[in-house]
Structure 1
Amino acid sequence: MDGTPRWALPLLFAGQAQKEIQHNEALALVDALLHGQVESADLSAPPGAPAVGQCWIVAAGASGDWSGRAGSIALWTEGGWRFVAARSGIRVAAADRDHALFFDGAEWRSEAIRSAGLFIEDERVVGPQRAAIAAPGGGAVIDVEARSTVADILAALRSHGLIAS
């Protein structure tokens, strides 16, 4: 076996010359994966002037140096592009989306918890907190007040996406 079973990190062998090459390659890949962050998952061609250490998830229709690498994590190093094939369960923060992405074994998906709320099947079901609904108080006709409060509760639940409109 030339690499580790999960991430294909290069292994060292007894008597191997220039072990530092394999070791440094493994460290570069670990650096990209450990608490990973990608710049974007929407590019299908390499960016023009990447900085060393920046990563991208290669989008479908990959071209140029990324040709044939769709779905992989592309890492720019001093020696050029390094690629890591996605494995089920990996999570990376996506800088241009302000939330994390995870690989489910077949495709990259957005995390459920995002700054805009809680999403299920990419549909928001809980959004930003709304203003509190005032408790009923006073009033001579309780039924009107109760109906108004129930209507406010329903409106709040609808705006959060917890019940259908």
Structure 2
Amino acid sequence: MSDVAEASSRFALPFLVVAQAGKEQTHNEAVALIDMLLQPQALAVRGAPPPNPRGGESWIVAPGATGAWSGRDGAIAGWTDGGWRFAEVPVGFEMTVGGLNFIRKTEGWAGPGQVVPPEGGAIVDAEARAAILQLIELFRDRGVVAP
């Protein structure tokens, strides 16, 4: 067994190896995955492949996925000329899904949270502080503000 890695550590992009036949296939596979992961955008979070995907389209695979996505929970699924490509991304990976920011957490993908606007109350300052604390907590959860 060789001590040379066959894939990159973060995204498992395939490496070319010495005396490998069909290097273009390995190279093309890596380029397809890079294309899917560079400034990543997904159309939605889905539990099954769409009926008519187009080249370059991607989705986040929802838990309990079926069909060609079975067993790929949490992965990014991208459609290419060669069929489905899947990328398992590390915790902290961010991507846009339908115009909203999502982040890969240990327990799965997290989309943007909602902040409840303050209502009522006799002391406006307390409401403002509560709203600000909610925003700070939301930013912490998304990794925008340090804990």
The TM-score range, normalised by the shorter chain, is 0.7 to 0.9
Whole-angstrom distance in 2 between the partners of 1:162 and 1:102? 22
Q: Mind listing any 5+ residue stretches in structure 1 that lack a counterpart?
A: 112-121, 128-150
Displacement of 1:51: 0.6
Question: Which residue number in structure 2 is paired with residue 110 of structure 1?
Answer: 111
Displacement of 1:6: 1.0
Question: Which residue number in structure 2 is paired with residue 45 of structure 1?
Answer: 48
Match of 1:63 among 57, 62, 66: 66
Counterpart check, 1:76 vs 2:79? yes
Contact 2:10 2:89 in 1 (8 A): no
Counterpart check, 1:100 vs 2:91? no
User: Per-residue displacement from partner, 1:35-85 (whole Å, max 9, x unpaired)?
Assistant: 1000101x1010010110100000112100001111110010111101111
The aligned amino acid for 1:59 is A
Higher relative contact order (CA 8 A, sep 6+): 2
Q: How does 1:28-43 map to 2 (within 5 A)?
A: 28-41=32-45, 43=46
The aligned amino acid for 1:13 is V
User: Per-residue displacement from partner, 1:12-47 (whole Å, max 9, x unpaired)?
Assistant: 012212211111100110111111000101x10100
Question: Which residue number in structure 2 is paired with residue 13 of structure 1?
Answer: 17
TM-score (norm 2): 0.76
Displacement of 1:155: 10
Structure with larger Rg: 1
TM-score (norm 1): 0.68
Displacement of 1:99: 1.2
Find the residue that maps to 2:115 and give its secondary structure: strand
Q: Mind listing any 5+ residue stretches in structure 2 that lack a counterpart?
A: 135-147
The count of corresponding residues between Structure 1 and Structure 2 is: 128
Q: CA RMSD for the aligned pairs?
A: 2.7
Stretches (4+) displaced over 4 A: 151-156
Match of 1:124 among 115, 118, 123: 115
